[in-house]
Amino acid sequence: MAITNSVTQLIFTGLFQNQEAQRVSFVVFLLMYLATMFGNGLIILTVNSSESLSSPMYFFLSHFSFVEICYSSTIVPKFLCGLLADNKTISLNGCMAQIFFSHFFGVAEILLLTVMAYDRYVAICKPLHYMTIMSRSVCHVLVFGSWLGGMFHSVIQFLITVQLPFCGPNVIDHYFCDLYPLFKLACTDTFVAGIIVLSDSGLFSVVSFLFLISSYIVILVHLRNQSAEGRSKALSTCASHITVVLLFFGPATFLYLRPSSTFTEDKLVAVFYTVITPVLNPIIYTLRNTEVKNAMKRVWRKQADLSRE
């Protein structure tokens, strides 16, 4: 780092102070994390091994599941270790790395959700040109752009944070490293840094959310002239995506699209989008999707046959 800090280690206050609550939480959140890894991993395996799931929609879904695994793994393992430890510590460099990767994967996830909305728009509103518009090369460019956007956002957040001096105290009121709680420990005025962070986060979130809303407004207008069966089929393909968007943008809006201040609810809201939402997404996308469920059954049968041979 360019700045010399007297603080080299940070201490988390954690989610709960009660030891019994921490032990119970460890078991619950460990099961959720394992379910996240299994559920999203199963989606990736199913999409990449099933010819019936070769459309762009499932191509994006497999990448979205991969980002979910990466994002959750950036935060949850350290959080689980902290639930069993008396001293919940992390090095300052480790904290900076956690901020970098959590924002990298978080914004990549937002942009992938936006890409998936565009895919649904093209599929429903321009069905005759769908495979031409959403060609394999275009799909790869859109996915690469999502990763690039996440990297751009994360680098900005990291460069702002890494320049801040930390000389004490070193207790961060959270269970993982996030910007606003860390800013409170800086030995300098962070008002300008907070405004830049708010503007940067707001740019990606607001623009993406407006694009998502616009896409679905256009889809709904387009469906007015469709038959009831056509509307039902089209909306069913969008329902899972809309649910995931609401689950993601609700907590993110509460935490990041406001000036820095102290809310006792922040940590509980953060649990929702770091632990709970990643485990819900595979359930949402599989329960409402017959194609995915059937493909998963074929994968299971294939694996079972291989194990008996």
CATH code for the domain in which residue 113 is found:
1.20.1070.10
Domain count, the chain: 1
Angle, CA of 213, 218 and 223, to the nearest 5°:
125
Does residue 4 lie within any of the structural domains? Answer: no
Does residue 264 lie within any of the structural domains? Answer: yes
Does residue 153 lie within any of the structural domains? Answer: yes
The Cα–Cα gap between 16 and 32 comes to 18
Does residue 217 lie within any of the structural domains? Answer: yes
- Cα distance from N-terminal residue to C-terminal residue, the chain: 56
Does residue 236 lie within any of the structural domains? Answer: yes
pLDDT, tens digit, for every residue of 255-298? Answer: 655 554 544 567 877 888 889 889 988 888 877 778 888 888 88
Strands laid side by side in the 89-91 sheet? 89-91, 9-12, 171-172
Does residue 118 lie within any of the structural domains? Answer: yes
Does residue 1 lie within any of the structural domains? Answer: no
pLDDT, tens digit, for every residue of 19-61? Answer: 888 999 999 999 999 999 999 999 999 999 888 888 999 999 9
Domain that holds residue 230: 9-308
Average pLDDT value for residue range 85-93: 90
